[in-house]
Amino acid sequence: MAKVDFAKLPTFDQLPVREGAPPDSVWGVFGEGDELGCLNFLTPENIVAAAKLVKKGKVFRLDAKVGYAKPPLFGRPPFVHNIVNLSPTAHDDLLNAYNTQEGSQWDGLAHVGHVGHRKFYDGVTAEEIRNRMGRLNISSWKDKFVGRGVLIDAVTYRAAHGRPIQPLTRDVVTLDDLKGALVAQKVTLQPGSVLLVRTGWMEAYEASSDADKKAMAPMDKLKSVGVEPSRDLVEWLWNNRVAALGTDTPAAEPWPWNLTDAGALHHRAIPLLGLSLGEQFVLKPLAEDCAADGSYEFLLVAVPINLDNGIATPANTVVIK
C-alpha cells in the first residue's frame, strides 16, 4: 500500500499524472505497479478513526445468501452445492461451478478494462491477466479493505422529495440525489470513505414472484436502477477520496448499459480511477438502524477472497456500529 499524503494528491482536473496515460485516469498516482487503486485511501489512520465509530456493538452482514438469485442474474450458470460424506459422522461442502460474482460482490480491478483504451487499471493488459502474471490480483486486497463506511439512503431521500425510485426499471440515482441525501442525513464525506448507496433494488427483487425472477435473469431482460454514470460523478468520487462504491443493485449503474460505451461507470471507475464497485448488497436493515439512531457512518470490514489471480470477490462484508 502506498503512503498517501491526502494534501498532495492531484484533483480530478489535474489528471492524468503519468505521461501517456488516458484522460481522467489516476495511473501512477499511487506509484508504479499499484494493485489497490482507491483502496489506498484506507490508511492505518483511517482504520483507527473508523474503529471509534463503533458505539453499540451491532453487526450487519451486507451479503445476500449465496445463491439468493434463482436463477442467477446475467445468465450466469447456477452453482451446485454437494455435501460430501467423509464418514458416518463427518462432512465437507463442495461447490461446483461457483462464480465469485453470482451474488453480493466487490469488482476487482481485473474485472473490467477500458473499452476504448484496451487497458486495465495502471495500464495492465488482458494478456497479463489471462496469463496469470499476478497483476491486479484480488488477493492483493486480502487485508486492505477496512475503514469508514457511509450509507446514502437514496430510497428515503427520493421518497421524501416526491420522486420515489422505481428499482426494477432503468431509473437513475443522480449525483444531486447523492449530495442531497448526504445533506439530509447530516453526513460529510471524509477522505477514505467506502460509500454505500441504497436504491431499494434488492428488496424489490426479493419481493418478486418466482416467475418474475426467472423472466428478469437473462442479461438482455434485466432492468435495474443505478447510480448516474457521468464524468461529474467520478470527479466527485475522486475529489472526495472515496475508497469504494457499493450498491444494492446488480450493476451499480443503471442496467442495461452498452458494453461498448466508454462513458459507462464501469469503464470510468474500475480501469481509470481504480475504484471498486460493489453490487447486490443487503442494505435495508442497515438503513433502518441508521434512520433510528441518526448515524449513517460506521466501521466497514470486507475480507476479499484470498485467491491468486482472482478477478473479483464475494462481498464478505460486515458493518459494525
Q: What is the DSSP string of 274-314?
A: --EEEESB--HHHHHHHHHHS--EEEEEE-----TT--EEE
In a domain, residue 6? The reply is no
Q: Give residue 30's region: left, alpha or beta (phi > 0; psi -120 to 50).
A: alpha
Report the distance separating Cα 60 and Cα 47, nearest Å.
18
Task: Read off the C-alpha cell for 186.
Answer: 447530516
In a domain, residue 168? The reply is yes
Q: What is the pLDDT of residues 93-104, one digit of tens each?
A: 999 999 999 999
In a domain, residue 85? The reply is no
* Mean pLDDT, residues 220-249 taken together: 98
Q: What is the pLDDT of residues 19-42, one digit of tens each?
A: 999 999 999 999 999 999 999 999
- Please check the confidence at residue 44 and state whether its pLDDT lies above 80: yes
- Please check the confidence at residue 285 and state whether its pLDDT lies above 90: yes
3-class SS of residue 200: coil
Q: What is the pLDDT of residues 65-84, one digit of tens each?
A: 999 999 999 999 999 999 99
By residue range, what is the domain housing residue 314? 13-78+93-320
Number of domains composing the chain: 1
Q: What is the pLDDT of residues 1-24, one digit of tens each?
A: 668 888 899 999 999 999 999 999
In a domain, residue 7? The reply is no
- CATH code, domain with 308: 3.50.30.50
Report the distance separating Cα 181 and Cα 18, nearest Å.
35
pTM beyond 0.85: the answer is yes
In a domain, residue 3? The reply is no
Cβ atoms within 10 Å, residue 236: 17
Report the amino acid identity of residue 299: L
3-class SS of residue 184: helix
In a domain, residue 249? The reply is yes
Q: What is the pLDDT of residues 112-160, one digit of tens each?
A: 999 999 999 999 999 999 999 989 999 999 999 999 999 999 999 999 9
List % helix, strand, coil for the chain (3-state, nearest 5). 30, 20, 50
In a domain, residue 8? The reply is no
CA 209 to chain centre: 27
pLDDT of residue 88: 96
pLDDT of residue 4: 84
In a domain, residue 1? The reply is no
